[in-house]
């Protein structure tokens, strides 16, 4: 099976690197297209044997899956460039252009009344290390191809099919959400430095703590508050810290941040 990725920037490149690293596709079966020579050369250096091209229409020929990893405003021109070269009977499309839903995708790809099978998917950048989170939906893909999407992306993280109306929320929680986690980590590290740790040591402690919290929740299948209750001794410093964070608007700030992109 072969895949061509149109757009090899941060997200497209991360998907290519993740697929190759986890052997979801052999490097030789991945072709990445981009306008930037530097981007393509960096990808080729990281993934020996990967195909690179600046000719999108040529690169999609022979691919089983064509994945569009371009910015939403570039989608119309990117589709127009390759539309005539696509074989709708043999290929199916995945688009990760946030906000470009299935109705708009159908409009863009319509060719003499014909449509390819299209999956609208939102990834996050952790796909590069095999720990991505993916939400996807479709209007016309077969169960066979949906099962294939689930299989492919489950090998580089967590994948879930959702209703299209949930895609915006999924974007906030996963694709944008990973940036919010990075900011939370940064805040912890800065606090650790203020309290006397060197930045590197503080970051190691914070990352280990977050990893442990995630592993506990996954292992127990519990609600976060159940685990909080286990470490909040009456009158102790943990509950004092939590209450101070809430007084500063912690939970409200997180919810507002998630909803800001809707």
pLDDT in tens, 114-148: 999 999 999 999 999 999 999 999 999 999 999 99
| pTM of the model as a whole | 0.92
| pLDDT given for residue 255 in this prediction | 94
pLDDT digits (tens, 9 = 90+) for 177-199: 999 999 999 999 999 999 999 99
Average pLDDT value for residue range 17-21: 97
| pLDDT given for residue 153 in this prediction | 98
Average pLDDT value for residue range 198-213: 97
Domain 3-163 has CATH 3.40.50.720: yes
pLDDT exceeds cutoff 90 at 262: no
DSSP assignment, residue 138? E
The domain limits of the chain are: 3-163, 177-260
| pLDDT given for residue 261 in this prediction | 74
Q: Which residue in the block uniquely carries the two structure tokens 């006397």?
A: 196
Q: Which residue in the block uniquely carries the two structure tokens 């609208």?
A: 120
pLDDT digits (tens, 9 = 90+) for 89-117: 999 999 999 999 999 999 999 998 899 99
Residue 37's SS3 state is helix
pLDDT exceeds cutoff 80 at 210: yes
Under the banding of pLDDT at 50, 70 and 90, the label for residue 257 is very high
The β-bridge relationship of strands 51-53 and 92-95 is unpaired
CA distance 88 to 76: 18
CA distance 86 to 65: 10
Q: Which residue in the block uniquely carries the two structure tokens 């592993």?
A: 215
How far are the Cα atoms of 99, 127, 131, 210, 249 from residue 72, in angstroms, in the given order? 7, 20, 24, 33, 33
Please state, as a whole number, how many other Cβ atoms lie within 10 Å of the Cβ of residue 41: 11
Of 22, 146, 148, 15, nearest in space to 69 by CA: 15
Q: What fold characterizes domain 177-260?
A: ProC C-terminal domain-like fold (1.10.3730)
Count Cβ atoms within 10 A of the Cβ of residue 81 and give its class: 0-12 exposed, 13-18 middle, 19 or more buried.
middle
Of 126, 54, 61, 66, nearest in space to 96 by CA: 66
| pLDDT given for residue 113 in this prediction | 85
Under the banding of pLDDT at 50, 70 and 90, the label for residue 24 is very high
Under the banding of pLDDT at 50, 70 and 90, the label for residue 230 is very high
| pLDDT given for residue 196 in this prediction | 97
Tokens representing residue 243 in the block: 């209450």
| pLDDT given for residue 10 in this prediction | 95
CA distance 254 to 173: 10
């Amino acid at each position: 099976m072969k895949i061509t990725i149109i757009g090899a920037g941060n997200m497209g490149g991360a998907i290519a690197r993740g697929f190759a690293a986890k052997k979801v596709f052999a490097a030789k079966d991945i072709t990445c297209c981009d306008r930037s020579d530097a981007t393509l050369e960096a990808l080729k250096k990281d993934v020996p044997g990967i195909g690179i091209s600046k000719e999108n229409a040529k690169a999609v020929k022979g691919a089983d899956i064509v994945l569009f990893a371009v910015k939403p405003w570039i989608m119309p021109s990117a589709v127009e460039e390759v539309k005539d070269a696509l074989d709708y009977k043999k290929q199916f499309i995945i688009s990760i252009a946030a906000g470009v839903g299935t109705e708009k995708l159908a409009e863009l790809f319509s060719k003499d009344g014909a449509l390819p099978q299209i999956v609208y998917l939102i990834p996050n950048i952790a796909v590069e290390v095999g720990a991505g989170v993916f939400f996807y939906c479709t209007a016309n893909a077969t169960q066979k191809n949906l099962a294939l999407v689930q299989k492919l992306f489950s090998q580089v993280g967590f994948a879930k099919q959702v209703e299209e109306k949930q895609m915006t929320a999924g974007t906030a929680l996963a694709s944008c959400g990973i940036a919010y986690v990075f900011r939370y980590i940064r805040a912890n590290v800065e606090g650790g430095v203020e309290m006397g740790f060197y930045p590197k040591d503080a970051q190691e402690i914070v990352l280990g703590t977050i990893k442990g919290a995630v592993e506990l929740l996954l292992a127990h299948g519990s609600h976060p508050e159940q685990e909080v209750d286990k470490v909040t001794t009456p009158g102790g410093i943990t509950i004092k810290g939590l209450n101070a964070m809430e007084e500063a608007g912690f939970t409200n700030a997180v919810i507002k941040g998630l909803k800001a992109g809707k």
